Amino acid sequence: METIDKIKEQISQNPVLLYMKGSPKLPSCGFSAQTVQALMNCGEQFAYVDILQNPDIRTELPKFADWPTFPQLWINGELIGGCDIVLEMFQQGELQPLITEAAVKTDSE
């Protein structure tokens, strides 16, 4: 499977998906750690892809997403952004409803 196809499949199959360095339990960079913390505070499950274990995705995703850095949060197939955007949305109360809505939509399908 082509890397871009793999990325598209991951995004379409996971309503809340974080491309990050490391894992939620053991983030490998501060930005990924902060993003995971915000997501965990929303109280819903999310999928993740460790780009350090997937160098092909690490290379191709920035081109596909037109977003140069990691982490990258995707909700319902749409790129939300990186650490700064996620934290800002969390602090303003905008992230929680998006995450909850994605989780509810998944549960009802």
pLDDT the model gives residue 106: 65
In a domain? residue 93: yes
Provide the residue range defining the domain that includes 51: 3-103
In a domain? residue 70: yes
Residue 15: both structure tokens together:
């309503």
In a domain? residue 98: yes
Q: Distance (Å, rounded) from C-alpha 54 to C-alpha 93? A: 32
User: Torsion angle, CA of 85/56/59/90, rounded to 10 degrees?
Assistant: 0
In a domain? residue 109: no
What confidence tens digit (pLDDT) does each residue in 36-72 have? 999 999 999 999 999 999 999 999 999 999 999 999 9
Whether the per-residue pLDDT at 83 is higher than 90: the answer is yes
Which CATH number covers residue 12?
3.40.30.10
Asked whether residue 58 is marked as a ligand-binding residue, the answer is: yes
In the chain, the percentage of residues whose pLDDT exceeds 90 is 93
pLDDT the model gives residue 66: 97
Q: What is the mean pLDDT of the chain?
A: 95
Asked whether residue 56 is marked as a ligand-binding residue, the answer is: no
pLDDT the model gives residue 103: 84
Asked whether residue 42 is marked as a ligand-binding residue, the answer is: no
Asked whether residue 31 is marked as a ligand-binding residue, the answer is: no
In a domain? residue 99: yes
Asked whether residue 5 is marked as a ligand-binding residue, the answer is: no
Residue 72: both structure tokens together:
């990258």
In a domain? residue 35: yes
In a domain? residue 62: yes
Asked whether residue 70 is marked as a ligand-binding residue, the answer is: yes
pLDDT the model gives residue 104: 80
Sheet strand arrangement including 47-50: 47-50, 16-20, 72-75, 78-81
Q: Distance (Å, rounded) from C-alpha 96 to C-alpha 19? A: 19
How many distinct structural domains can be found in the chain?
A: 1
CB-based contact 89:80 (threshold 8 Å): yes
Instruction: State CA 37 to chain mean position distance.
Output: 12
**Average pLDDT rounded to a whole number, residues 16-40:** 98
